[in-house]
Each structure stands twice: as C-alpha cells, then as structure tokens.
Amino acid sequence: MPVIALDDVWKFFGNFPALRQVGLKLEPGWCCALLGRNGAGKTTLLRVLAGLSPFQRGSISVLGSKVRSETARRQMGFLGHGIGIYEDLTARENLRFFARASGTNLPDSQLVDWLKRVDLSRVVDMPVRQFSRGMRQRLALARTFQHSPKVLFLDEPFTSLDDHSIRMLTELMEEAKQRGATIMLSTHQLREALAIASHVAILEQGQLRFFAERTQEMVDDPGALYRTRAELGIL
C-alpha cells in the first residue's frame, strides 16, 4: 500500500487553481525530490499533504488515513519555510515541547542526544533568540526528525545550511529512508536533492508534469534533468 497517495487533487486560491489534477503514489522508503520554478505549487502541495491547507477536489491518503487524521499526523514530520521554533524557549524546551506535541515523551537524555546530533550541545539551555540562522535551522531539523516519523514533508530544507549541515541533513534523511520512512522534499538545490532522492517529480503551474525514478545520469549531471524538462516543454 502506498504511504502517500494523491488522486486528481485540485486546490484553488479563489478562482486560481494552484494545484491541478495532481496524482501521485509514494511507497515506503522512497524519497521524492519535488522540483519546479517559484510559484509552481511545490509549497502548496506540501502544505496540502501535511494537512495545513484544505484542497477542494480529489483525494489524499497518508499512511492509509486522511491527511488531518491523528494517525497520519502522529507519524508525520513537517518542516516548512518557517522553521517552527519558539524564539523565547531554549533549544531543549523547544524539543521537549514538540516531542510532547508529537505524542512522544522523550527523556531528557534523548533530547540532549538530538541536540548533540545537530551540533547544538553547547547551547542546550540558551534561548533560540540568540541563535544564528543556521543554528535555528539545525534545531528545526532535530524537531522534525526526533520522533522518528514515517512520513517527512520538507520544504526547501537545505536553505541556510552550510556544507557540514547539509551533510548532517542528508545523513538524517538517509537514516529515515533506511528505516522505511517516505520523504517528499521541495528544493531548488538539485545536486543535494538528487543525491538523496529515489524519485523526481516536477511541478509546473500546479500540474505534475514529470514523475520518474531518479537515474544515475541525473546525479552525475543535474543538467540532464533540465534537458528532460526542456524535452517536456516546461522550461
């Protein structure tokens, strides 16, 4: 059974169709890189999948349940444009709160382990207000991955990360894939995304124009993907 299944999904902002007839199925352990120009509908699609934005037509199931069901949300990790971190709480307090919010009561030692994992062990009890942008993004990664979700929706997760942090994120995603989690990430950073992705989807004006397994050729030469897009007439 697919972990994520979309069938003929339409999403409107007023009369404007932001998503048109999107159909897609992702199996356990797949990582789908969602590509497309600005305004193509990547963020909208991820928000609809995460149950943050209602859709008007079609059907979506996540882990066999409706998107807003508690079952789906309990096993979901979402990292949006905003990092979802409270500035006036410390790193530890943020993780503790979101662990509770995810229905898991992680012991303090595990929270600290997560902070070590994202290189924030020296600022465990420092308010996030004093963090740099990269540190905040790394804390957001710990928040998203700490409850071992089975489905991950990541909206431009490489933003603000340096090389070291990108490697850290890639490792986290690789581990998630190995334990069977399904990942959908939108990005403009093709090289990083293609290195981890098992599948590639291209959105154009709200329509899914391309969905296929990622090939080695795409990894070796991300330009190949552009050529594919050009062949499809969507560049």
Partner 1 sequence: MRALTYTWAVARKDLAIEFRTKESLNAAGAFAIVILLLFSFAFDEVSDTMAEMAGGLLWLVFAFGGALIFNRGFARELPNECLDALMASPIPAASLLVGKAITSTVLLLIVETVSLFVFGIFYNFTWWRHPFELLLVFLLATWGISILGAVFGALTVNLRLRELMLPVLIYPLLIPLLMAAIELTNPLLNNQPLTPDILLWGRVLIVFDVVFTALAIFLAEPILLN
- Where along the sequence are the contacts to partner 1 (CB under 8 A)? 47, 50-54, 68, 70, 73-74, 76, 78, 80-89, 93, 97-98, 100-103, 136, 143, 153
**In terms of CB distance, is 144 or 228 closer to partner 1?**
144
**In terms of CB distance, is 153 or 210 closer to partner 1?**
153
Minimum gap (Å) between residue 204 Cβ and partner 1 = 25
Residues 6+ apart with CB under 8 A from 153: 46, 49, 50, 76, 77, 78, 79, 184, 185
Is there a contact between 126 and 92 (Cβ–Cβ < 8 Å)? no
173 membership: H or E segment, kind and range: helix 163-178
- Comparing CA positions, the residue from 156, 169, 210 lying closest to residue 43 is 156
Minimum gap (Å) between residue 221 Cβ and partner 1 = 35
**In terms of CB distance, is 100 or 164 closer to partner 1?**
100
Bridge partners for 9 per DSSP? 22
Residue type at 101 in one-letter notation: A
Minimum gap (Å) between residue 150 Cβ and partner 1 = 13
**In terms of CB distance, is 80 or 206 closer to partner 1?**
80
Minimum gap (Å) between residue 8 Cβ and partner 1 = 21
**In terms of CB distance, is 87 or 162 closer to partner 1?**
87
187 — phi, psi (to 5°)? -165, 160
User: What is the Cα–Cα distance from 166 to 87, expressed in whole angstroms?
Assistant: 23
Minimum gap (Å) between residue 5 Cβ and partner 1 = 19
User: What is the Cα–Cα distance from 65 to 20, expressed in whole angstroms?
Assistant: 22
